[in-house]
Chain A
């Protein structure tokens, strides 16, 4: 019931956090779709990751930290841990994905880079969904 009693000063960082997360989900979804169904569009894949996925992740993560500093949540709840884990581990995965996608543009004769991007992005999309469930329902 946190949303019902939230102070006004939390609204802007929460808006940016949710906006970043929703844009990130869409951008990762587009990445998976391109990698699976149109592997030849490698430049589009790199542009999507570089110009949309990574900035959306940054917005989601920075705004998340901002609201965390405002909320001062007691203890170390599991739902918050899931959010931090998916967020922080996600950066490593996304940077690796970006590098692999870029490598795929440089080596168009190789098929593994696009396949790797599809697998990593697909797994991260599932992880984002789990994080969304945890952060929304806040299980004990």
Chain B
């Protein structure tokens, strides 16, 4: 195996962590939406945090080894697919970051309710179904899929 193979493997490992982590976060967020018990919502959000950790590691791997691959192969830095992928990478992180702050607030509310008797609350339910947060979270996932498509079609290469 040459350097290209290793770089591609590590770049792909990052991609699997990002998309896989996004899928895991989606599973746990959907399960939290269906759940009413605060203690169960806390548990699901803790799982989602692990998934977000995988996404973070994957984002670093995809960017680092992706840029190295561009240099190694000799693609032009101004090619459409590379510029678009970098813009979408930043956008995905921004959307995920904003969504993550809301998620933290919801988790803290769920933790408080769990400690105070573990009874379902309309406030928690409303925060879980916040349309802005849901749009940001799912939007971040869609942007990641768009990056995957760019990596395969490579428009402008």
Q: Are A4 and B152 in contact (CB under 8 A)?
A: no
The smallest beta-carbon distance between B50 and chain A, in angstroms, is 7
- On chain A, which size bracket covers the interface? 20 to 34
Q: How many A-B residue pairs have CB under 8 A?
A: 85
CA distance A1 to B16 in the complex (A): 20
Binding site for A on B (CB under 8 A): 1, 4-6, 8-9, 12-13, 15-16, 19-24, 27-28, 31, 40, 43, 47, 50-51, 54, 73, 145, 148-149, 152-153
Q: Which residue in chain B gives the minimum CB-CB distance to A10? A: B152
Give the segment of A30-38, A85-93, A110-118 that binds chain B: A30-38
Q: Are B9 and A137 in contact (CB under 8 A)?
A: yes
Q: Can you sample 22 A-B contacts with CB below 8 Å?
A: A11-B152, A11-B153, A15-B152, A18-B152, A19-B19, A19-B148, A21-B16, A22-B15, A23-B19, A25-B20, A26-B22, A26-B51, A27-B24, A29-B24, A30-B24, A37-B47, A48-B27, A132-B16, A137-B1, A137-B5, A137-B8, A137-B9
Q: Is A136 an interface residue (CB 8 A)?
A: yes
Given that A133-B9, A136-B12 are contacting pairs, would A26 and B47 also be in contact in the complex, using a CB cutoff of 8 Å?
Answer: no
Q: Are A22 and B5 in contact (CB under 8 A)?
A: no
Q: Is A14 an interface residue (CB 8 A)?
A: yes
Q: Are A30 and B27 in contact (CB under 8 A)?
A: yes
Binding site for B on A (CB under 8 A): 1, 3-4, 8, 11, 14-15, 18-19, 21-23, 25-27, 29-30, 33-34, 37-38, 41, 44, 48, 52, 132-133, 136-139
The smallest beta-carbon distance between B56 and chain A, in angstroms, is 15
